Amino acid sequence: MSRRSPASGHRPEDGSQDSRLATRDAAAKPPYHMPFDEFRRHGHEVVDWVADYLESVGDRPITPDVKPGDIRALLPESAPERPEPFEDVMRDLDEIIMPGITHWQSPGWFGFFPANSSPPSILGELVSAGLSTQGMMWSTSPAATELESVVADWLVDLLGLPETWKTTGPGGGVIQMSASDSTHLAFVIAREQVEGPAESKVLYASNQSHSSIEKGAKIAGFKQVRLIGIDDEYALDADELRRTIVDDLAAGLKPTTVVSNIGTTGTTAVDPVRSIGEIAREYGLWHHVDAAYAGTAMICEEFRHHQDGLELADSYTFNPHKWMFTNFDCNLFYVADRKPLIDTMSILPPYLRDEASESGQVINYRDWHIPLGRRFRALKLWFVIRSYGAEGIRYHVREHHRLATDLAARVERHSSLELIAPTPFGLVSFRHVDGDEATNALAAAINESGWAHVSPSTIEDRRFVRVSIGQTYTTAEHVDRLWDLIAAHA
């Protein structure tokens, strides 16, 4: 029994009751498919809808004014038995769903990290859905695999990653859903490289690592996770790492894997990748690098000193779905040597054997991650990279970084505010000198403005405001307006 009748009293926007009824008639009987002429018409309408949305998203309050359960209460309890006209679905999208949306694509989005999209990415996603191909093996859609390898290899050059990580060399890249999946997978591979009971294997990461590190460790079966201390800039203390590994060895444990962060979630701190890599080599640990957010910045050479020592990493992950204008989900995972990855992940039932695989000439990405089925994520990234060109992406990264350093300088000059961390990329981290309460009040005032949104956080028991500058459409004008808001409430 539905709580509402979605179709009641509805008139389509073009006023054409006839066309609406025609739609309903066509789809409301076997075989129930939307006719292609209708699909074409609605498709154009939906693209217009998305373009209108993106053009005007900055005028909407970023966070919705809803309480838990408000949206659910407006939705029917049961699925429709009878087909409904597409116009009714779009009407409910506007009337029920949109009031409950948080607008991450607003240029006033300074929260968490960006989760950007862009028109080429959206169109790539649309084509990917249109093809709905499965790229689990080369033979199940050769172009899906080969494009993914090419895009992953392009990114090796674009980001200045080690040449050996290309699929044409011993390593290779694969597109997965998220940094969390990739990190989990890296830990499973690492675990397989060391003999002995799970209880003896130890994983190391800075105490500023993202929660996906502890979660991945848990899923991969690590019972021992050491969260290593940090220096003044919140980067891992390599001396403490070494001491901890030595102590664990003395206690009969098996140091197995260590993580370097390039851009922590809290303050975008950068761990000493080279020192960590050298320690990992010395003691035989798998070295995984999490550059989920900051990886995109490496498209500009001036940021690459932050990834010095990457040739000492065994695996690496970064998210085009944060700062590279490619909508969620799209995450790159690279390994320096693909053999341990494939040895760990490959299970070959008879129904997945084929001639191409036996030839040894193709990549079967099903062996490069956890799921078997895989969607064509490379397409939207390819659309983005070709549409912006490397220079277009560089332009925006540099501009976001310029706006962030400019905001940091204004914070530094303000007598009531203090920076708590450097701004190596696009994040400005600061607090009110009067303490936690004043800092929370400042963040609340920004968010209450409706048009700007920040995510406050806590580090070493003190509250701070994170302003993450990197949304696709954020410009100097938005940052100036944000600064006026900050200054008015500081």
Ligand X SMILES: Cc1ncc(COP(=O)(O)O)c(C=O)c1O
For ligand X, give the closer residue by CB, 6 or 309: 309
- Smallest distance from ligand X to CB 263, Å: 6
Question: Smallest distance, Å, CB 46 to ligand X?
Answer: 26
Rounded Cα distance between 335 and 301, Å, is: 22
Least distance (Å) from ligand X to the CB of residue 128? 18
Nearer Cβ to ligand X (212/447): 212
Return the number of the residue (155 or 292) whose C-beta is nearest ligand X: 292
- The residue (of 140 and 319) whose beta carbon lies closer to ligand X is 319
Shortest reach from residue 187's CB to ligand X, in Å:
13
Residue 117 or 180: which CB sits closer to ligand X?
180
Q: Which is nearer to ligand X, 106 or 260 (CB)?
A: 260
Taking the least distance from each CB to ligand X, the nearer of 58 and 277 is 277
In the bound state with ligand X, the residue whose beta carbon lies nearer, of 172 and 263, is 263
Tell me the sheet residues that pair with 225.
203
Q: How far is the CB of 4 from ligand X (least distance, A)?
A: 34
Q: How many CB atoms lie within 10 A of CB 337?
A: 15
Residues making contact with ligand X (CB under 6 A):
113, 178-180, 210, 212, 263-265, 290, 292-293, 319, 331
For residue 300, the minimal CB distance to ligand X (Å) is 19
User: Closest separation between CB of residue 285 and ligand X, Å?
Assistant: 19
Tell the smallest beta-carbon distance from residue 264 to ligand X (Å).
6
In the sheet that holds 462-468, the strands lie side by side as 109-110, 453-459, 462-468, 427-432, 417-419
